[in-house]
Chains A and B, each alone.
Chain A
């Protein structure tokens, strides 16, 4: 048995320049066994993030300080959810009955999106940190929506009577990060709101992504600005920390990605 051809050494310096899988070496023209297994591990983790069900009761425990309401979307299961994004954007039949009007300035909605792992790991911490920075505002209940996409927050926010929703959603997992959380702020939530009328933060995670603290600060800044200006979206530019602000085209790009 011949050993895999090793072409690693020349790449040591260049590998530091990029997280890309360069200089892997090869076995014939194939990936060496260890790199092949590394890749399969990353893909398995990403798939598990998409397909694992959110442990709602554990998340409720993590949110013990808040009133929590649970709802489901119109998508009955994961397979339907992945095929029918329209169903994930709407509440299931009669789910609205679980959402009594409680007018408030701002409310948090958690949607499992495409990574329950992201929501399970980061959502409660982000809500805790952000609400601590929102003293003086009437904060509504936290609604956890499963099999849910971003736009489900519009129906929820309208039912509760929130002026603004902050929706936290599990982003489409990549091979490197499978638990990245996004946050979408929508002023005047109601079905039919355009994606361009939302503000978005993305890449909230612990592997070199946005920290809970920074995410909370940005959410609080955007919330105050949105409630004062009575809008969200392209008319509201983030200024909390200019060095961290994505430019308008990035924001639009993020809003148009298929995972929403």
Chain B
């Protein structure tokens, strides 16, 4: 493995494997330090980045970071690689690939057709050579459009998940938070509940309540209860009104085992949800969540850095044609992403990597109370992600999730992003908001409680 070396400032740096080069080239974060994978010094990190920059992209097709024989995510990545789509960049090194991505040659249609030719490892590698501005400039150019009852990802628009969680799954409480969110024009990507009690009867009653609400107001959106994929399969068998199948996924087979999920289960659920035909304008029926650190947390990281593993999770998502994917970027805690700087970087990386692989990538811009972060950091990250053309962001009442005990964005924040950047909701949802008297023809919230009154009266 002598070729992973670099002479820098009179010092010779050697790296034992491709995985070590990738890990040490990664901008510093607590999770890689915890795993013992981080560069020993800033200069060593730059040396690793220099080695990485000179590696041919092709190398990632011949050297698996996690063995093909023992990991079904590796097999999925290798077996589904599209050689023809890869051709335009197949001669490039990682560093040349970065330069090309930033150039005008890498236009929206070119990037779209390239996506199936890229592996997660190639995408992770190039992201490690990019600055935050690069991580914004590239996904800005990428179009990913998905749909179910609303169309997400169109130019000039940003979607939102309305997250009306309640610590006791109280139906009235969830409706109250849902109506609050709708009055702020939030919920075009999904109205999605994390249940406090994760079992089938609870999920079914929540789904029926949301289905009834969506039908009564004729809202062009979809609902989801974020329960395990096996629960969703059973819920569909029992005939409950399920729009989207949810699952948390990770980038290694062992970490997915920890979540109790396999590719076969996801395939079964995907096919079952497609057969329900509940979408009106499209049939993207899957909702995935990911987050850096999940594999280490499950002690299933194989010596690979957390950002590379995160991007491998996107290969799992990509196989099932999702409506939305989001990285829950600051949720897992400071042992993986320590502070606002690390959370911001990770949020931009995840969004860039997901989009480059062709995913409808969004983000839960969030933090826990033991992280060195606060709402100011979220203000910055949400603004950057809106600029980077995030597919959707998550919002909760007053930024305070009272069930999961962490802070995300508030409904107000979605209104800020839409007003400040002239971004609109999904077109079907926008028409509905106008009809309800909640927004004006610029997409701004109306300074009158009339629309809200109407919303509330219909609820009682």
Enumerate chain A interface residues (CB-CB to B < 8 A). Answer: 5-7, 9-11, 13-15, 17-24, 26, 28-31, 35, 39-40, 42-43, 46-47, 49-50, 82-86, 114, 172-176, 178, 247, 249-250, 253, 258-259
Contacts and interface: CB of A to CB of B under 8 A. Distances in A.
A14 B164 CA distance: 13
Nearest to B228: A249
Interface string B425-460: 000000000000000000001010100110010001
Contacts of B156: none
Interface stretch (B134-142, B269-277, B396-404): B396-404
Contact of A172 (B199, B374, B405, B412): B405
Given A17-B172, A21-B397, A83-B334, A253 B452 contact: no
B370 A50 contact: yes
Contacts of A30: 412, 416
Contacts of B180: 11, 14, 20, 22-23
A83 B34 contact: yes
A82 B452 contact: no
Contacts of B175: 14, 17
A258 B332 contact: yes
A172 B400 contact: no
B416 A29 contact: yes
B452 A20 contact: no
B419 interface: yes
Contacts of A250: 197
A39 B398 contact: yes
Interface string B300-322: 00000000000000000000000
Closest 8 CB pairs of A and B: A21-B398, A18-B173, A174-B405, A14-B176, A29-B415, A22-B180, A46-B369, A17-B172
Contacts of B407: 43, 175
Given A14-B456, A249-B199, A24 B338 contact: no
A174 B369 contact: yes
B369 A10 contact: no
A173 to B, nearest CB: 5
A19 B334 CA distance: 27
A82 B449 contact: no
A31 B338 CA distance: 27
Nearest to A250: B197
B339 to A, nearest CB: 10
Given A18-B173, A21-B398, A43-B407, A50 B338 contact: no
A15 B176 contact: yes
Given A26-B412, A47-B369, A82-B370, A18 B170 contact: yes
A82 B402 contact: no
Given A22-B176, A82-B334, A84-B335, A29 B445 contact: yes
Contacts of B445: 26, 29
Given A14-B456, A173-B405, 12 more contacts: A6-B449, A11-B176, A13-B460, A14-B180, A17-B176, A20-B396, A21-B400, A26-B415, A29-B415, A172-B369, A175-B407, A258-B332
A9 B369 contact: no
B261 to A, nearest CB: 15
Nearest to A2: B447
A31 B447 CA distance: 14
A249 B399 CA distance: 27
Nearest to B455: A10
B336 to A, nearest CB: 9
Interface string B381-416: 000000000000000111110100111001011011
A88 B367 CA distance: 21
B254 to A, nearest CB: 16
A83 B338 contact: yes
Given A5-B447, A46-B369, A84-B335, A39 B183 contact: no
Interface in B148-175: 164-167, 170, 172-175
Contact of B449 (A7, A114, A175): A7
Contacts of A43: 369, 374-375, 407
Contact of A31 (B166, B172, B369, B410): B410
B93 interface: no
Contact-residue size bin, chain B (C-beta under 8 Å from the other chain):
35 or more
A42 B89 CA distance: 51
A9 B177 CA distance: 15
Contacts of A23: 180
A175 B453 CA distance: 29
B172 to A, nearest CB: 4
B333 interface: yes
B183 A7 contact: yes
Contacts of A172: 368-370, 405
Q: Which of A15, A49, A173, A258 is most buried by chain B, counting CB atoms within 10 A of its CB?
A: A258
A85 B176 CA distance: 38
Contacts of A35: 398
A172 B370 CA distance: 7
Contact of B34 (A11, A47, A84, A253): A84
19 contacts: A5-B447, A11-B456, A15-B176, A20-B396, A20-B402, A22-B397, A24-B398, A28-B419, A29-B412, A31-B412, A43-B369, A83-B335, A83-B338, A86-B34, A172-B370, A173-B369, A175-B407, A247-B197, A259-B370
A1 to B, nearest CB: 15
Contacts of B176: 11, 14-15, 17-18, 20, 22
A20 B197 contact: no
A49 B198 CA distance: 29
B416 A20 contact: no
Contacts of B406: 174
A118 to B, nearest CB: 13
A161 to B, nearest CB: 30
Contacts of B374: 43
B400 A175 contact: yes
Nearest to A177: B405
B164 A10 contact: no
